[in-house]
Structure formats: C-alpha cells, structure tokens
A and B are shown apart, each in its own frame.
Chain A
Amino acid sequence: MRFIFITVRKELKRRFNDPGALISSIMIPFAIGFLIASVMGGSGGSIKAGLLVTDLDDSFISQGILSALGQDQMADMITLEKVSLDEGERRINEGDGSAHLVIPEDFGQAWLDREEIALLLTVNPSQYVSPRLIREMLESLLDLGDYLHKVFGDELKIISQSVDSDGLVGISTADFSANITDKVSGIADLVLPPVMEVDDVTPEPEGSSVSMGLLMFPGILIMAAFFAANGQSSNFWTEKEKGTLGRWVASPNAFSAFWVAQWFTAMALTALVAAPIMLMGFFYFDITFEKYLSALAWLALTGPVLFALLSLIQVLAPSRKSGSMISTLVMFPLLMVGGSFFPTETMPGFIAGIAQYTPNGRVVEPLKAYLTGEYGSSGMFAELWGLLLVTLVLVLLTGSLSARKALA
C-alpha cells in the first residue's frame, strides 16, 4: 500500500512538472462547453429565441397571432419585441435577434377574405436552432388559421363583412354564438382530448426552470475527467517505451500495484482538474456549496471508469499509435452520445436512451440530478458501487492483459 501511495505521488509530481498539459485538461473542456452553450443560444440561460415583430396591420387578427406567440409554452421559448420596420431591419442586420417578422398592412382582412398575402420573416443566419423554432411555430399558427377557415368559414365571412360595416349583418349575436357553439360541440370528440385528472407527483426542482448551462455543466466536468483519463491511460506505453516499466517489473513489487496506482492517480487527477471548473460552475449557477464536496467526491470516484476503459483499449492495441487512435475513436462518440457535449435533454429520445448505457452517461446523469436538486447525495451515491465494480473489473482485466505485454 505504501508503494502505491509513493507511486501516486510520483505520478502527480510528473503531471505538475508539465503544467501546460494540466492547464489544458482544465481549459479545453471549459472552452468546448462555452462554445457549445454559445452556439445553442446563450452561455448560461435557457434557449430562448428573440423575435422582432413589426405589425403594420395592427388588426385584431395580427394581434391575435402576437398574443398566441407570447402565451404559455411559446412564451417560454420566444421573447417577443414589437419594433418599427426600420428598427427591425437594422437590428436583424446587426445580428440582434433570432428573426424579424413583418405583418403587412391589411393582413387581417386578407386572411378573413382568404386572399393571398405574405408574411415576411427575416432570420439571423448566425443562429441555427432559434430561427427554425420561430419558423415552425409560425407555420403551425398559419395551419391553425387554415383549419379555422374550414370549420368556421361562414362565421368568419360574417366577421369579415362586419369589419367593414361595424357590426354583424343579417344575424343576431345570439344565433351567431349558438352556431359556433354547435360546431365546436360537433367536432369536440375529434379535436379536444378527453378530460383527465392528472396529479403531478414530481417535485419541482429548487428555483425555477433548469438552465441550459446547468444541464451542460456536469458534461463539461466529465469531459475534463475524460481528458485527464486519456493522458493517464497512455502512460502504460510511455513507461514501457522508456524502460521504467521494465524496472518496475524487475523490482520486488507486484505488477498489479502499478495499475492500482494508476487508478488512484486517475482519481486524484480527476479531482484536481474538476475542482476549479466545479468551483467556477458553482459560483456561476449559484449552486449551494454544501454540494461541492459530494459532487467532487462523486466525480473523483466514478470518473476513473473512463480511465479504466481507455487503459484497456491501450493495452489491447498493438502499439501506442493505434492505441491513441482507437481511444480517440471511442472517446468522442462516447462524449457525444453520453451527454458530455450535449445534455441528454436536448437529444432525440433514442440517443438519450443510449446515454444511460455509456460509462460517462452513468457518471453525468446522477451528478446532474444531484446538482439540479432532483437527487439528494444518497440518491447519487446509490449508483457508486456499480461504477466502482465496473472500474475494478476493467482495471484487473487491463492488469492481467498488460503483464505479458509489459515485457514483450
């Protein structure tokens, strides 16, 4: 045990003697996370599209569209801002906003009369998700308008005429209302869902909705662990090529101690690299610092499952070069699918399902649940033993496979 401790200390000294590599392990995941968060529409908040609207029509129809865009779930996704035509054009040209919608004059009347008229939507090409979101919502609203015409065509015609004559012509208001009620009742079974009572038993997370940045944060941490693990796993080749592994085998110490020491070193490096990133994240996302040590302990204990996996790949590879290549080929898809580059919440369902079966996914998801308040620390650590067992099996397998290779 003493020798394992001495070896871990030696390994850490080696890393500290190469501060550039150590700082890179911290900065690279941080930079990647920042870039991805920026591309997805902001570094810290939820994804929210900014829609600039110039309403030249100012009719009850155009106002209805704007009301629809500004209500309920749509309001969670779109920030609406009414602007003049000039200001809208200027701001969208400056990249300020996701899109600029111009509702032309007489739009409302044209819609009521079923005449052709165009809505002008100018999108910001530097954004990808938000403009598509706005376009799809507008298309949904226009489809809804088309269905309204099909079902309430007669009534809309009356309304259209009344806009000109300041009142409903040739029909009493009561009859008009009764007609609409009849039609709604007639199609109710088709378009309205059955009435259900739902008791929502999921406790609300602390505070309001979880921001995109916070969802990405555990992924950034595990990315740091991944980079640290990757460097540590290739140490087998470094020691073999330099001959220090031969010295080790010729010493009276057990060869398995080498791998146990590498494992513990991976734990220490993970903690070392993750600690400053975690500290910044806790400040930025205003996470209670009571969770800091538990989260760091979780990451340090479980993060080395990645080291164990990459070490096994290195040992199975015929050379350092192919080991690095295969590790990279495995690492990046795992980072993508396992929820490190993108949170599983933003993934299609089937990919998010796969994430549960990736080692980094198994580390990220409980940590995320803990940081967002979904789990307590006991909930997170309930999954610890499984991960430790997998790591131990991988380390033992790596050790037994590498013993012969070390001497070849």
Chain B
Amino acid sequence: MIEVRDLQKCYGDLVAVDHISFTADGGSVFGLLGPNGAGKSTTISCLSGLLQPTAGSIRVGGFDISTEAVKAKASLGIVPQELAIYEDLSGHDNLAFWGAAYGLKGDRLQQRVGHVLNRIGLADRASDLPKTYSGGMKRRLNFGCGLVHEPAILLLDEPTVGVDPQSREHLFELVREEKAKGTCVLYTTHYMEEAEKLCDELAIIDHGKIIAAGTLDALRAEFGGNDIIQLSGSFDQPKVEQAVNELHGEVLALAADTLMIAIRDGARSLPSVLQGISATGAEIHHARLSEPNLESLFLKLTGKDLRA
C-alpha cells in the first residue's frame, strides 16, 4: 500500500528526511516514532503530495505520488497534526464537504457522514459549529474528516496531541477499526505508549534517518533479552560506569542524579546492582525495574530521551 524508497527531503542545506525506506501493508498500523523535529511530519507531507521529495520515490496504493498524483491522492485520507477543520461550518457540513472533495455524493455521502458522526461520537452535536466543541471533540472531527471517504490508506500525523485520555482512547478505537477493515494506517507519534499499543510495525526516526525498524518484539530483541533498571539519587559518573561494567551491564543514560542500565535477568541482578552502585559512594533514593520499551530503545540508540 505504501512503498517509500530512499526518500530524501532537503530545505537548502538542511536535510529534513535523509534517505529513508519502508513499506506498510493494508490491515496494519505502521508507526513512525521519533521526537519533535525528527522528520515525521515532513515524511507525511511527502507521502500526501504536499511536498515534492528532493530524491527517492513514493508509491501510494500502487501509484507514484509524483507522476500519478490524482490517483494516488484519491486513495489517501489525511489527519494532519493541526485541527484542519472549518470552525465556522457545522460538524456535519465539515464532513460533507471533505466527503464531496473525494467524490462522494447523494445518499452515499449522507450515509457516510452519518456513519462517521456516530463513530466519532458527534452525532448529537452534528449541527453545532466546531467553535463550540471541546478540544477532544475537535480532534475527533479532524479525524473524521480524514476517513469520511473510506480511504484505503490513512495518514495520521500525531492525531492525539493535546487530547484528553477519554478522547484518546476513542481515537485508538477508531484506528483499530480502520485496521480491522483492511486500511493501511501510517501513524506518527512521539508517544512511545501509543506506538506500543497500536503499531504492528515501527520505524524509529531521528534527525531524518530511520535508526531502527521492525515489529515491537524485534525491536525489543535489540536489547538481547536484557531488562532495564532505572535509579535516581546522586552518582559519581566515572565510578558508576566502571561498576556497571563489572556487573556486565550497559549504561543507557547517566547523569548526576539519574542512571539507566540494561542488564540480563534484572530481577535477580537488582540486589547486586544496588550493592555495586552504592559501593561507589552513590546515594540511591529510588529504583525501578522494567522490561525494555521503545523509550529505552530510543535512549540506547540515540543517547537521548524520546520526549526531549
């Protein structure tokens, strides 16, 4: 459904997307995970034909987005990061307009608008103007405008930014429904919890490059079965690094007040880790043991926090 080959997008000397490649299939959710400014939105803009790539090729629904733009765009549904809705047009009219923009008309259009209004939970507010909606309701309408025409491919660019937990769960449910219908969903986010919950496959992107890709399990395997121990307190950095090496662990992050290490069989190793680190003169206030997740993987790969 989506086939990206060696995509590059430059703005003068700035390389926003640096030769990335990936494929995403129907009936699956492909996640692009990365911090703000990593190149996720630029990638989405190239995929949707809003930006012309500097190099590389993009095929959407079997059509090249540069040379067969109209056919390629017809298969796309876009949910941009900003609230791309008309505040001075009712919820119903917003959906009807964007449905008509993709060729729906007559009964079919009204049927789809009614269905989507129900699905996004706005049926009882359909005739109200979005300027009277809450933030979560506007997000849902923004989402609805992208899927009213039943696209084969849905591009979701950080769709849950600024959304309350209830509306977020509602949106997750909609994504899962689309996936179940066979839609190919491309989902960008900088929330690793969302990526873990929703995505079948992931690409972690930083500074315009894909630094890791695969299924969630495959990415976790990057840790080689290690667990994560996070400590907070006060640490002497050179001594702590040496102590972790002696414990056969790997330092993922180390600062004056935090330490994160990857270590095999974390539950069993925890007492010796605490003892070894304390022996360096460190004060430990808090310790947490967890399985490796995308955040720790990102930290391991880039040496920085995903939310930075």
Q: Which of A's residues lie within 8 Å of B, judged by CB?
A: 2-3, 6-7, 10, 13-14, 17-18, 242-244, 246-253, 407
Contact = CB atoms under 8 A, between A and B. Distances in A.
30 contacts: A3-B100, A6-B97, A6-B101, A10-B86, A10-B89, A10-B97, A14-B86, A17-B88, A17-B89, A17-B129, A18-B88, A242-B82, A242-B84, A242-B86, A243-B80, A244-B84, A247-B80, A247-B84, A247-B101, A249-B50, A250-B76, A251-B73, A251-B98, A251-B101, A252-B69, A252-B70, A252-B71, A252-B73, A407-B50, A407-B51
Contacts of A7: 97
A208 B53 CA distance: 69
Contact of A250 (B49, B88, B97): B49
Interface string B47-74: 0111100000000000000000111011
Contacts of A248: 101
Contacts of B97: 6-7, 10
A251 B102 contact: yes
Interface in B79-96: 80-90, 93
A250 B48 contact: yes
Contact of B80 (A10, A14, A246): A246
User: Which of B48, B49, B88: most chain A CB closer than 10 A?
Assistant: B88
A13 B129 CA distance: 11
Nearest to B72: A252
Interface string B90-123: 1001000110111101000000000000000000
Contacts of A242: 82-87
State the main secondary structure of chain B at its contact with A.
loop
Contact of A3 (B48, B88, B93, B101): B101
Nearest to A249: B50
Contacts of B101: 3, 6, 247-248, 251, 253
Given A249-B49, A407-B45, A244 B86 contact: yes
Contacts of A250: 48-50, 73, 76, 78
Contact of B84 (A6, A243, A252): A243
Interface string B120-143: 000000000100000000000000
Nearest to A257: B101
B198 interface: no
B93 A246 contact: no
B145 interface: yes
Contacts of A3: 100-101
Instruction: Label chain A's interface by main secondary structure.
Output: helix
Contacts of B78: 246-247, 250
Which of A2, A17, A252, A407 has the most chain B CB atoms closer than 10 A to its own CB? A252
A247 B98 CA distance: 9
A247 B97 CA distance: 11
Given A250-B78, A252-B74, A407-B50, 10 more contacts: A3-B100, A6-B97, A17-B88, A17-B129, A246-B50, A247-B80, A247-B98, A249-B50, A251-B102, A407-B45
Residue of B49, B70, B81, B86 contacting most chain A CB atoms (<10 Å): B86
Contacts of B105: 2
B51 A10 contact: no
B14 to A, nearest CB: 14
Given A18-B88, A243-B80, A244-B84, A13 B93 contact: yes
A249 B76 CA distance: 12
A18 B87 CA distance: 11
B85 A244 contact: yes
Question: What 4 A-B pairs have minimum CB-CB distances, sorted nearest first?
Answer: A243-B84, A243-B82, A250-B48, A252-B73
B9 to A, nearest CB: 12
A45 to B, nearest CB: 42
Contacts of B84: 242-244, 246-247
B88 A14 contact: yes
A385 B41 CA distance: 45
B246 to A, nearest CB: 54
A112 B103 CA distance: 92
Interface in B290-307: none
Contacts of B81: 243
B67 to A, nearest CB: 14
A180 B103 CA distance: 93
A14 B71 CA distance: 30
A245 B133 CA distance: 21
Nearest to A17: B88
Contact of A252 (B89, B98, B102, B145): B102
Contact of A6 (B51, B88, B100, B129): B100
A14 B97 CA distance: 12
Contacts of A246: 50, 78, 80, 84
A247 B90 CA distance: 17
Contacts of A251: 73, 98, 101-102
A251 B76 CA distance: 8
Contacts of B71: 252
A10 B93 contact: yes
Interface string B179-220: 000000000000000000000000000000000000000000
A13 B89 contact: yes
Of listed A14, A246, A247, A407, residue having the most chain B CB within 10 A: A247
Nearest to A6: B100
Given A250-B78, A251-B102, A252-B74, A243 B50 contact: no
A280 to B, nearest CB: 28
A52 B305 CA distance: 89
A2 to B, nearest CB: 8
Contacts of A253: 101
Contacts of B83: 242-243
Contacts of A10: 86, 89, 93, 97
A10 to B, nearest CB: 5
A296 to B, nearest CB: 26
A253 B102 CA distance: 8
A251 B71 CA distance: 10
Contacts of A244: 84-86
Nearest to B101: A251
B69 to A, nearest CB: 8
A242 B105 CA distance: 25
B243 to A, nearest CB: 51
